[in-house]
Amino acid sequence: MKRKYIRSVRPFLILLLFSAGCSLKSPEAPSWQTQWNIPLVDRSYSVREIVEDEDRVMFDADGRLGFHVEEEIAAAAIGENFVLDDFEQSFEVALTDLTIPNTIVGYDYFGFAQLCGEAAGKEGQSVIIHPAVFQRVAGQKHADDRFRSAVIETGRGRLRLYSGLPVALENVALQLRDGDTGDILLSAPRVARINPSDSVRVPLDLNSIPIPENNQWLISGSVAGSNGAAVLIRPDQTLEVLTQIDEMRVSFLHAKLPSLVLQENKSIELLPGSTLQVEELAFQQGKVAVTLDNHTPISAETLSWKFQEINDSNGNPLHFVIPLMSYSRSVSRIDLRRFVVRLDLPANGVEQLLNIDFDGVTRDLGDQLYVLDQKSTLTARVVFSDLVIDHLSGRLQEQEVALDTVFRSLSLPERLDDLDHVRFGDARLALDIFNTIQLPLRLQGTLRAWNDRGQSVFFTINEAIQPANSGEVRTRLPLFTAQNSPIVQFMDIRPTHLAIAGRALVGDGVTYGRISASDYLRARVALDVPARISWAAKEVHLDTTQIQIKPAEEAGDLYDQGAIVRISADATDRLQGAVIQLKIDNHLPLGGAVHLRLADALARLYDRPNVILGPIQLPAAAVDAAGRVSAARHIETSLELNEEDLALFKNAGTDVKPVFIATDLSLDSSHGQERQIFGEDYIKVQALLTLKVLVSEE
């Protein structure tokens, strides 16, 4: 703005010169003094900024400056201490439940003379046979030596009818009768017609059918007749009925025992009585032992076992074999390491089952007859033991996990050791728990602090811990204060060691989550002690301003006020003076001083400045009875630069010359006296450089 004014008066001055005429003396060029204001600093510096590099300094909730001590307590393993109770279950396989295939029960023979009265006594003669009916005719029984009797629970079989008769039979019905009681045990489906020298198969439903040793078939039907032709009657003309069982499961069997297929599926409860519901359970270690007691005569080279829900890393079911020897015990033990149980997650309270498939082929026992009944069993005992999880996903009722005791040394500030006469009434101890378990968790235990003199203090912990999601999550426990804990005694004994011990209660029975062997709890203890602080002298660098002096040959305005003020060398040659005006508000209970440093190189600004101005002494602010600043101290002053100082602004060179001006604050030491300082305390500094310049039209 000043430069524009100079240009606007130039035409007026020229007009005055011409109007004066040649008779006047040559006039001198007019000149006048102007001033340029350059802000150096205008800031308020809070205590937080001033002490930001001080170690172990903090502000409490009231803003009071004090000690801050923070210590990490090493992780306590949770997952690797999460063990499952051993469990076992037994089940029986009755051999009467076995599927027994292809058994011949016996043969029944019916002579032609039994079925047709016209053939009776006519052996060797040719006779015309007329249609006739026969009812409930008993044949001649020929039992198979491999079968005596059975009580069939489920089964199917067949009759094979071979006709050696000279005429057809029609509407044939067969009934199996108990030879001792006369009871009808089974009725076969009717056969519409059996032609001479032909055979027919009749299916049998044998479910819930007893077949006693003394059994016989009764036959009913009709003789079709010979259509007027004479037929030869022979004694060997019979209807043969073969009874065959294709497959059966029995509750009783008296027979020879061929090679049998032993194939069963059983289930056992996973963790019976436990409140754990598993979706996935991987074992870090553990074993399963299967003991097989054989109370039967059968044997097999091996029985193959599969646990369908227990899989290896490739997804294959856990598979092993056990030899089966008659009337003996067999044991197999399997390492569960790296095996995983995978199940559908059921509704709350529903038991979970492990399905076991086993199969094998028994040896043929030869010609001896054996009796299998309800006492003929295989008893299996399955024991899971030493189970340590690698990871587990599912729902878990509250499960107790012991925590290893973790120790940590505690390092309090050295200054604290000098304050034995101080009693801390408002210290605060914060305990952060870092958790990686993805299940609800409650920590119950103690935090113990003690010193080398044997004095100790205990803090009780019983708090819910936030479940993790992925990675680590922090839970801040309620603060330990003088109102709810022995924190005052803690500070009085000056502890040197900490230990945390206790247990974790994992799960709530509702929340789905995950726990793994690598999961842990770790803690961080933070001690905040608002206190009276003693200070050493401290220097704080405030703002630094740069001014650039242009070389003489550079054209342009005398004064450019941009991001960096630029002044022409011509203007600085006409400097008439310079003054720095200072306004300071001190809201600290500490005194100090303000200095200004001026230098033509930044590197020498603090150790070898060209000019030092000050100090300007700052008295401490007034404090109230509680030690809190009640009013700030206000100071206003001006610092004049002398002629020697002004030489710093002159530039006789060909390059731009920088001038750096730094405002520094020096805080006095408290000389051992302890004061309270609050975060609201501050010091406000305003500095303005005014340059006085003589401006002319030359």
Percentage, residues of the chain above pLDDT 90: 47
Least reliable range by pLDDT among 20-34, 470-484, 511-525, 662-676:
20-34
Fold classification of 87-95+260-394 (topology level): Jelly Rolls (2.60.120)
Counts for the chain of helices (H) and strands (E), in that order: 6, 46
Percentage, residues of the chain above pLDDT 70: 89
Q: Is the per-residue pLDDT at 697 higher than 80? A: no
Please give the pLDDT value at position 243. 95
User: Cα separations (Å) of 314 from 280, 318, 336, 340, 563?
Assistant: 15, 11, 14, 10, 70
Q: Is the per-residue pLDDT at 531 higher than 60? A: no
Please give the pLDDT value at position 29. 53
The residue whose two tokens read 């930001």 is 52
CA distance 151 to 212: 8
Closest CA to 358 of 295, 289, 286, 302: 302
CA distance 490 to 480: 11
Q: First and final CA of the chain: distance in angstroms?
A: 19
CA distance 141 to 108: 5
> Which amino acid, residue 335?
D
| Alpha-carbon dihedral sign for residues 172, 177, 182, 185 | negative
pLDDT in tens, 166-200: 999 999 999 999 999 999 999 999 999 999 999 99
> Residue 122: CB partners within 8 Å, gap ≥ 6?
113, 233
User: Cα separations (Å) of 210 from 131, 152, 418?
Assistant: 36, 6, 101
User: Cα separations (Å) of 72 from 79, 688, 695?
Assistant: 20, 49, 68
State the Cα angle at 146 between 101 and 106, rounded to 5°: 85
Q: What are the φ and ψ backbone dihedral angles of 343, each rounded to 5 degrees?
A: -140, 160
pLDDT in tens, 561-608: 888 899 998 888 888 999 999 999 999 888 899 999 999 999 999 999
Work out the average pLDDT over 521-526. Answer: 84
Q: Within a 10 A sphere around the Cβ of 631, how many other Cβ atoms?
A: 11
CA distance 476 to 657: 57
Q: What are the φ and ψ backbone dihedral angles of 646, each rounded to 5 degrees?
A: -65, -20
> Residue 588: CB partners within 8 Å, gap ≥ 6?
47, 620, 621, 629, 667, 677, 681, 682, 683
- Enumerate the domain spans of the chain: 32-53+535-696, 87-95+260-394, 99-256, 397-518
* b/e map 298-324, b = 16+ CB within 10 Å: bbbeebebbbebbbeeeeebbebebbb
Work out the average pLDDT over 21-41. Answer: 66
In DSSP notation, 594-636 reads EEEEEESSGGGTTTS-SEEEEEEEEPPPEE-TTS-EEE-EEEE
Least reliable range by pLDDT among 38-42, 207-211, 674-678:
674-678
- When pLDDT is cut at 50, 70 and 90, the band that residue 510 belongs to is confident
pLDDT in tens, 134-160: 999 998 999 888 899 999 999 999 999
pLDDT higher at 606 or 529: 606
pLDDT in tens, 346-361: 887 788 999 999 898 8
The residue whose two tokens read 């605060």 is 428
**pTM of the complete model:** 0.57
Work out the average pLDDT over 219-238. Answer: 95
pLDDT in tens, 243-301: 999 988 888 999 988 888 888 899 999 888 777 889 999 999 999 999 999 998 989 88
Q: Is 366 exposed, middle or buried (0-12, 13-18, 19+ CB in 10 A)?
A: exposed
CA distance 589 to 258: 106
Residues in the chain: 698
Q: What are the φ and ψ backbone dihedral angles of 220, each rounded to 5 degrees?
A: -130, 155
Q: Is the per-residue pLDDT at 16 higher than 60? A: no
Please give the pLDDT value at position 68. 74
Average pLDDT, whole number, for the chain? 85
- When pLDDT is cut at 50, 70 and 90, the band that residue 17 belongs to is very low
- When pLDDT is cut at 50, 70 and 90, the band that residue 28 belongs to is low
Work out the average pLDDT over 642-666. Answer: 92
Tokens of 486: 């022995």
Q: Is 99 exposed, middle or buried (0-12, 13-18, 19+ CB in 10 A)?
A: middle
CA distance 79 to 392: 9
User: Cα separations (Å) of 398 from 83, 275, 395, 435?
Assistant: 14, 8, 10, 17
Calculate the CA dihedral of residues 44, 47, 48, 51 and round it to 10 degrees.
120
- When pLDDT is cut at 50, 70 and 90, the band that residue 15 belongs to is very low
CA distance 100 to 253: 10
Please give the pLDDT value at position 54. 53
529 forms beta bridges with: 67
Q: Is the per-residue pLDDT at 24 higher than 70? A: no
- Is residue 68 within 8 A of residue 526, CB to CB? The reply is yes
